[in-house]
Structure 1
Amino acid sequence: MPSNTKDTYTPSTLLNIFSNALSVQEEKKVIQIKGIYKKENSINYNGYFYDHLIDEIENQLITIRIPEKLRKEFKDGYTYVVEGYLNKKVNKSGHIDICFNAIDIQSNEGKRFFENEIRKYDVRKMKFSKGYKNVNEILRRKIYNKQKVSIFLIYGNNSIILPDILNALGDANKHYDIRQCAVNLSTKDDIIRGLNEGNKNYDVVVLARGGGWGLDIFNDPDIAEKAIQLEPAFVTAIGHAVDNNLLQDVADMRLDTPTALGNYLKEIANDVETAKRREEELESKLKRKAEELEKNKRECKYKIIKWGVLLFISGIIIGSLILKHI
């Protein structure tokens, strides 16, 4: 008779199984890796430090484990070709961490023109440390409390996206107080000026622009850093779904297009209205139930009093009749 007993694993056992199953050829030999060295304020762990190598083209990085003596030869922001080997481990959350163990420096290509990439990395790290505001919660809370959401909308001079946003928003526009700010979105100073103007008593600052050429301006670290410093939540609705830039990476919410912005605002408003309507219907039902219970309670009390009086009168009559026969 077959057994119904099933294998039982612990989380550690399963993670080790998958870690060992993900085997690559590069993990078994000494290789070279090229990237921009980013020195972190890491702690000395038994003679080793954990820093990063950043890809010169893509916004990707890898942790690099460097011996204390070798680390003294590295300069922050310089591009290196480093010899070493890969290893991996599974952390407590179940993610597999890849680490490159440095053995030696093969070449130093200097700082070159990649300082901007280092700055982008620092800006992303700054946003990660500061945290992301919950735009959904900000909008829902205001609308639920029957308050208009104040939005500072930055868009381009002579832009045709505003009708797209308002048309997508539709009747839900009544929940929003949108202040428009048209600037030259191809000029860094104008964009920063717009962001500074929006850093006032608004709930949300939105920067919206259609697709096309000129989107590289939104990779400027100065603009991204200014957006991080905003007190209101910051939302981007830039370009098309395939576009990606630094400003979108540091936004509290990223929407793919200006039309998507209108649709999003409408969806939030409709969701809150639906939730409130259901809540009001439930409260109304509960109120009616309470009224019915109170009514039944009064009727029951009236009946008890009525029957009590009748019994009292009946008792008097019966008592009188008994006395007459004695």
Structure 2
Amino acid sequence: MKELITDIDSIGKRLDAWLSVHLAPELSRNRIQSLISEGQVSLDGKIVRETKHKLRDGVSITIEIPEPEDATPKGEDIPLDILYEDADLIVINKPAGLVVHPGNGNWTGTLVNALIYHCGDTLSGIGGVRRPGIVHRLDKETSGVMVVAKNDHAHRHLSAQFADHGRTNDLERAYLAVVWGTPDRKVGTIDAPLGRSHRDRTKQAIVHEEREDARHAVTHFEVQERFGAKEDATALASLVECRLETGRTHQIRVHMAHIGHPLVGDLEYGGAYKTKANKLDEPLQSIVKGFTRQALHAKLLAFEHPSTGEIVRFEAPAPDDMAKLLDAFRQNNIRDVHKLRNLP
């Protein structure tokens, strides 16, 4: 804990700016801003969370500095659905809700913690202490097939394949997505660069290709099923298979929303569709409202094995929650047909 008292020179100055001067070089301005936001700074005994708070003379400032956390993740006995494992790699079916690696707000309970417990010291160290063996990621709420490297040779080999995005190798990634509505064609390609959203830096957005942070992004899609299809070829929702030509953060979610068909359950990129469930018949309405993640599952991953050179393929069926969602849309289809035919 540190205690400071402001003087006449502090009058009108920002809290974070004043502290950064008086606590340098021990604490950076970013660190001070984080401490303020976390409620670790008090003025005259009252917690202040506003970094721009204007100071006055004679204020007693108390700063609580938490003990630094160990950056090295620890192994945790978290169950893994292992599809395949050998000396070079491990392939898992990641459940929705599991964060891939430690980071802000998720220092424990991640896939990395589970892998350290399961694999011990055999994971590749190239990814660093927080991302050992990680060569690609899935969003927290996206389920499906992932591969992790268990040694540095495998890590380099797999990373090169993912960096190439299958353009000159046999890397193949396919996802199942349940989207609102239906695309205007059965098969299509979305070619639109992605970058950070100016409105929310945690989100991605379609950006102009000449913007400095624009990243080339291409998604190929094919409509597998339409639910609640009408005579004008519109549909309530659709099951779409997406194949990635590039692998950008939130790529499928942003691209499908961009063409007007956001993923069911995706409140980040499809928030405007949240009330759409209110117009559904029961029990479909309750099931859709209860589906609180993006309806996205990595069903297929194929790549060249780093040691044998063999092309290996791994598939995982849609998890129970997504299977239940799909079944509800299919059952709703049957009921709609019965209504059209005036059947009981």
TM-score band, normalised by shorter chain: under 0.3
Point out the structure with the larger helix share: 1
Please identify the structure whose Cα radius of gyration is greater: 1
Q: TM-score, length-normalised on structure 1?
A: 0.25
Q: TM-score, length-normalised on structure 2?
A: 0.24
Higher relative contact order at CA 8 Å, sep ≥6: structure 1 or structure 2? Answer: 2
